[in-house]
Structure 1
Amino acid sequence: MGLPATYNCIIIDDNEIDRLMSLAFAKKYPFLNVIGVYSSATEAFAAIEETSVDVLLSDIDMPEISGLDFRSQMMHIPVCIFITSYPDYAAESFEVEAFDFLVKPIKSERFEQSMNRLQHFFELKRKAQLFEYSLGGSTVFIKDGHEQIKLNLHDIVYLEALKDYTRIVTTTKKYSVLSSIGHLLLESAFQSFLRIHRSYAVQRHYIERITPQQVYIQNYSLPVGRSYKDVLINLK
């Protein structure tokens, strides 16, 4: 079993108690990585300009910029869950593709229901991406010793540099090819791979969790090189 994926989450609410309550609920779910808690949409705009956000938990009725207006400008965030004291906003919230609409005060059972739906949504999204990728039928021929072997690119989990060779690790077997990892990554067939270390490149679609020091992919834990950390920060 792989480790669960995590998703970057921000919380916006102009009421301090409600803000802390949302944070307390969110912290109960390990797949939510709360990267910011803000008292206004204006504050959030400035803070997340160059940050990848997967989940937005936002109040609606806020001064200056409402939660609805913020969402309309941040439609690239995959999931928006509104948390508000005003049920009348429900129709408007779904016009900006709200994933869910929670009415304050938040009940633990209702928040759990939303989180279960959220986890299921991301799992389906990941499987759909894998399926779409596999439909491309991309294959590559490699020379392993004296044999020419045809590999489905979808089955390759990661690449490992070994001096002049590269180890290709698939879901079932390992191969070694007489080519540098840098050379392989220049080929169009390997554009779905992400370099995370001088010695490692991983298949993006298999990534399950990222920490500052490690990338977890399938049953493997691979190190993150210092010069590659910035690339991973913005990875969704």
Structure 2
Amino acid sequence: MTNCLIVDDEAPARALLIEHLSTLNGFTVLASLDNAVDGFTFLQTNPVDLAFLDIQMPRMSGLELIRSVKTSPKIILTTAYREYAATAFELDALDYLVKPITQERFMRAVSKYLHYQNSPEVPAQLPGRYEEMYMFFKVGRDQTKIFLKDIIFMEGLGDYIRVHTIEKSYVASEKLGFMAEKLPEDKFIRVHKSFIIAWDKLLSYNADQVHLATEILPLGRLYKGIFFRKVQERILLR
């Protein structure tokens, strides 16, 4: 069962989402709220898997709600405004629906959620076994096996990623935000809204860039703090 939360200050918009969800098996609406502050409170104590958030609301916007929760469910943003799309995907929103939301467009968004839920997990990391860890990526019509040790960095391309390895690059059907959650955090780190790098492929860095063996990539403003902290932690652990 997928537990859903709807947060929108417009009653007709909430009712439409409830109607769309009522046609699906396995989805239940835990709450339908008219403001993001109540949404924040609800998320603190309830197991929500998928949240539908409006962006422009009084007191707190949907984007502010995403930033304010430490651990958030999968997010599908619903809005009458197209200009927030770039920010939404930078915050790893699963999809961005522009009102009025048709049943067909709604189903496409839900299909993305189901795809990520059914994607294979990265094998649990075992001491001394990282050399053997791999994932299968959907490349074209094939499921392609890629060893994690061979990955230099990943590049986000909307609903796709380009996986750069030692030998070649692959364009796979996956989102960068999903990979950021699934990859071992002691082996990979996100340095930009569009890039995840392998720690062992990092040669040097400065305030604005990270230098890999094959590429120089930007260090994004939103990711600098955690990157520099993780660098210091790794130095202290040596």
**Given the two structures, how large is their TM-score scaled by the length of structure 2?**
0.50
- Pairing 1:100–2:95 present: yes
Give 5+ residue unaligned stretches, structure 2. 128-238
| Corresponding residue number in structure 1 for 2:42 | 47
Contact 1:58-1:83 within 8 A present in 2 as well: yes
Match of 1:132 among 123, 134, 157: 123
Written as runs of structure 1 = structure 2, the 5 A alignment for 1:29-108 is 29-74=24-69, 76-108=71-103
Greater radius of gyration (CA): 1
Instruction: Give the secondary structure class of the aligned counterpart of 2:88.
Output: helix
* Aligned counterparts of 2:110 and 2:36: Cα–Cα separation in 1: 23
Instruction: Give the secondary structure class of the aligned counterpart of 2:25.
Output: coil
* Aligned counterparts of 1:47 and 1:93: Cα–Cα separation in 2: 21
* Aligned counterparts of 1:78 and 1:121: Cα–Cα separation in 2: 12
* Aligned counterparts of 2:67 and 2:43: Cα–Cα separation in 1: 15
Contact 2:2-2:27 within 8 A present in 1 as well: yes
Q: Return the offset for 1:136.
A: 4.5
CA gap 1:75/1:28 in 2 versus in 1, 3 angstroms: farther
* Aligned counterparts of 1:95 and 1:61: Cα–Cα separation in 2: 17
Instruction: Give the secondary structure class of the aligned counterpart of 2:24.
Output: coil
* Aligned counterparts of 2:88 and 2:27: Cα–Cα separation in 1: 22
CA gap 1:83/1:44 in 2 versus in 1, 3 angstroms: same
Q: Return the offset for 1:78.
A: 3.6
Instruction: Give the secondary structure class of the aligned counterpart of 1:57.
Output: strand
Q: Return the offset for 1:52.
A: 1.6
Identity of aligned residues (%): 30
| Corresponding residue number in structure 2 for 1:212 | none
Instruction: Give the secondary structure class of the aligned counterpart of 1:37.
Output: strand
Residues 151-202 of structure 1 show CA distances to partners (whole Å, capped at 9, x for unaligned) of xxxxxxxxxxxxxxxxxxxxxxxxxxxxxxxxxxxxxxxxxxxxxxxxxxxx
Deviating runs (4+, > 4 A) in structure 1? Answer: none
* Aligned counterparts of 2:32 and 2:26: Cα–Cα separation in 1: 17
| Corresponding residue number in structure 1 for 2:106 | 111
RMSD: 1.8
Contact 2:40-2:69 within 8 A present in 1 as well: no
Residues 44-66 of structure 1 show CA distances to partners (whole Å, capped at 9, x for unaligned) of 22233211211110100100000
Give the letter for the 1:73 counterpart: S
**Given the two structures, how large is their TM-score scaled by the length of structure 1?**
0.50
CA gap 1:118/1:103 in 2 versus in 1, 3 angstroms: same
The answer to which structure, 1 or 2, has the higher relative contact order (CA under 8 A, 6+ apart) is 1
Contact 1:75-1:96 within 8 A present in 2 as well: no
Give the letter for the 1:27 counterpart: S
Contact 1:10-1:35 within 8 A present in 2 as well: yes
Written as runs of structure 1 = structure 2, the 5 A alignment for 1:134-213 is 136=126
* Aligned counterparts of 2:46 and 2:73: Cα–Cα separation in 1: 14
Q: Return the offset for 1:102.
A: 0.3
- Pairing 1:18–2:9 present: no
Give 5+ residue unaligned stretches, structure 1. 1-5, 138-236
